[in-house]
Amino acid sequence: MGMKRFRSFLGMVILTCLVGIGILAWHTVTPPAEKIPPSQEPASAADLKLDRLRYTETREGVKEWELEAASAQYFKEEGTIVFDKVKATFFGKNQETYILEGEKGRLNTQTKAIEAFDGVKLKSSNGYQMTTRSLRYEADKRELCTADPIEMSGPDGTITGIGLIVYLEQQRMKILNQVTTILIPAGQQKPRG
């Protein structure tokens, strides 16, 4: 009788160890959950729906940005406008422009923050084009930013990395992490147009 109890106890210890190892292995092997952007549509029903929207934001008589969308839904309670097929043009100093396109978008009517999701592209007037999953415009800072992986190509080569900030007022950008640059030799560069 004593040996049977010992074998049962030993079996339980082995089973518990195997379950613990399995859970540890699952947590180690399973990649972390991908950061999902916040829900693109508020829970309540839209107060207003529009097809073909065009909106311009100015500050002290100077055009800051212009937004176009195939359709829009306004949610008054949340202070949000949700877009399909959004295109926003941001104006920097010295006539430099950045054109943001995405399949989905959202505008906070209070802060004027704009977010674009799904198939996001950003083109600059100096010949660079970037792709990423999401991009956000912070109106108070006049910055475009993302924490997602980015790929940027231009006349001088290709740059990849994770995270980006575009400082519209200073006309410069910063890639935050894991930056890789592939330069095109001088004789093979495309002429800037």
Structural contact between residues 103 and 87, judged by C-beta atoms closer than 8 angstroms: no
Contacts by residues 128-131 (CB-CB < 8 Å, ≥ 24 positions apart): 128/152, 128/153, 128/154, 129/153, 129/154, 130/164
Range in 21-30, 113-122, 142-151 with the lowest mean pLDDT: 21-30
CATH class name, domain 48-185: mainly beta
Write out pLDDT tens, residues 89-137: 988 777 788 899 999 999 998 998 999 999 899 998 888 899 999 999 9
Q: How far is CA 13 from CA 4, 7, 18, 25, 94, in A?
A: 14, 10, 9, 18, 72
pLDDT score, position 105: 93
**Verdict on whether the full-model pTM lies above 0.75:** no
pLDDT score, position 149: 93
Please state, in angstroms and rounded to a whole number, the distance separating the CA atoms of residues 180 and 51.
41
pLDDT score, position 139: 87
The burial of 71, by beta-carbon neighbours within 10 Å (0-12 exposed, 13-18 middle, 19 or more buried), is given as middle
Q: How far is CA 109 from CA 13, 75, 78, 139, in A?
A: 59, 10, 9, 11
Cβ atoms < 10 Å from Cβ of 146: 22
The answer, yes or no, to whether residue 4 has pLDDT greater than 70, is no
pLDDT score, position 85: 93
Structural contact between residues 106 and 83, judged by C-beta atoms closer than 8 angstroms: yes
Amino acid letter, 36 = I
Q: How far is CA 157 from CA 47, 120, 175, 189, in A?
A: 46, 20, 15, 8
Please state, in angstroms and rounded to a whole number, the distance separating the CA atoms of residues 93 and 54.
22
